[in-house]
Amino acid sequence: MRERLDDVDSVMARMQTAFGVTASHVLWMYDRPVDLPALRAFCAELQRGMLGRVIAPAVLGAAGDRWTSKAQFAPLEVTSRVLDREDLESWVAEQSHAEIDAYGGPAWRLATAQLDDGRAVVSLLVSHAIADALFLFQAVEDAVERRNVDVPVSNEQRATLPTALSELASSTRELARAARAQVAFARHRTSPAAAPRPDPRDTAPRSESAVELDDTFEIPRVIAVIPAAEWHAAAADRGGTSTVLAVAVASDIAVALGRTTQSGMTRINMPVSDRAGRGDARANAVRGVSVNVSPELDPATDLQPLRAQLKQVLQQDVDGSTNDRFVAMHRIIPRRRLRRIGANIRVSDYLSTICSVVGKTHPAIMRIDGGTAAFMSGSLINRAVEAPAALSRNGGCLAMILTESGGTTALRVTAFHPPNPKTRAELIDMIESVLARYGLMPIFW
């Protein structure tokens, strides 16, 4: 039985308590009403699977928090009113703000609503502290297939005497590890090769015009749905892959918004999965890479240079000495001090664009109510970054998440750039123009 959270899971959980919830938000769109009894059964299956675990805080912080199956769950939420089509995005935004808590739960919420045109929508909001995208979709697949999943964690919410003794030993190891990390970091800082890197925002133009956002502001989000065969053909015709095309499209959107350096370069940050397969019980098994896309490239005509660049980046070791130090030391840092210390670990900046490619999902994921959904999409919710005050302070944010399911490719774009703000309608027009460069004609939701 593995009770202690791995390093990345532990950092993710503790940073959320300090800064705010980060979550995966999955949406299913139906051209019919959903089967409510079947959806309730699906909700119950999720509770019995790997999403049935939450986090219990350690008594001794340095020991590391524990997984536990002693969790609170939220029932399926069925919206009583029938939604106008124009109100759908507001309902989705409302669901993205639902209360979730990885410590004790509910760590996720499932909701559905009926539309006035006969269609329906299902929302699943899951704390990123308990599941990254691949882990989440694995849990959904297990629930649909009614797999009997073994959740190898304790069912204790509070630490017992054996657990406390284990924490004492674990704390000793973590304190020694943190001390070694501190020594290694000190040596790194004095090394001639450890010259500080320039902050990309130092070379990025900023508009002098400020945008004041009130607390009711919702960041614009758009879903563009494209037949998967057309998406892959557009990539192959230009010598690329689905992932390379996604990077190119994300870069083009950044250019259209003006999120570039003075030379026109864009920076794409990509999460890359390190998951070892179905038996990998880590909630988060990812690392991050960055790609700088030069304005001299024209990916709309040729993706091969960008493909070669991305391949090289993926093969390189990432120098994360500062972050590695934080990871090694985070367990011994009091929770109340995480906000101040973690402020130096950037989660968003003026220049960077997040591009996450989930890839092709299992067909079962489209059948959460027994029948097949019209399409599915996913997005990342980062409340600390997307809060109105943070958007003004950080210069906005831009993220694109790609999922492929049921023969469709869905791009969920979250975009707000204060020097060049777009309404949702304007954002749709802009994305439509970007995709047209690749011969793609999406349907927007």
82 vs 84: CA distance, rounded Å: 7
Q: 200-319+346-444: same fold as 7-171?
A: yes
pTM for this prediction? 0.86
28, containing H or E segment: strand 22-30
Question: How big is the CA angle at 330 (ends 328 and 333), to the nearest 5 degrees?
Answer: 130
Q: Answer whether CATH 3.30.559.10 is correct for domain 7-171.
A: yes
Q: Which residues pair with 127 in a beta bridge?
A: 23
What does the pLDDT look like over 133-177, one tens digit per residue?
Answer: 999 999 999 999 999 888 877 666 555 545 554 555 555 554 444
Handedness of CA 376, 109, 355, 421 (dihedral sign): positive
224 vs 445: CA distance, rounded Å: 7
What does the pLDDT look like over 265-281, one tens digit per residue?
Answer: 999 999 999 898 888 88
Superfamily of segment(s) 200-319+346-444: Chloramphenicol acetyltransferase-like domain (3.30.559.10)
Of residues 228, 241, 248, the one with CA closest to residue 435: 248
Estimate to the nearest angstrom the gap between the alpha carbon of 230 and the chain centroid.
25
DSSP readout, 60-96? SGGG--EEES----PPPEE-SSPBPGGGHHHHHHHHH
Instruction: Enumerate the domain spans of the chain.
Output: 7-171, 200-319+346-444
Tokens of 333: 């840092």
Tokens of 147: 């797999």
What does the pLDDT look like over 295-333, one tens digit per residue?
Answer: 999 999 999 999 999 999 988 755 444 455 556 556 666
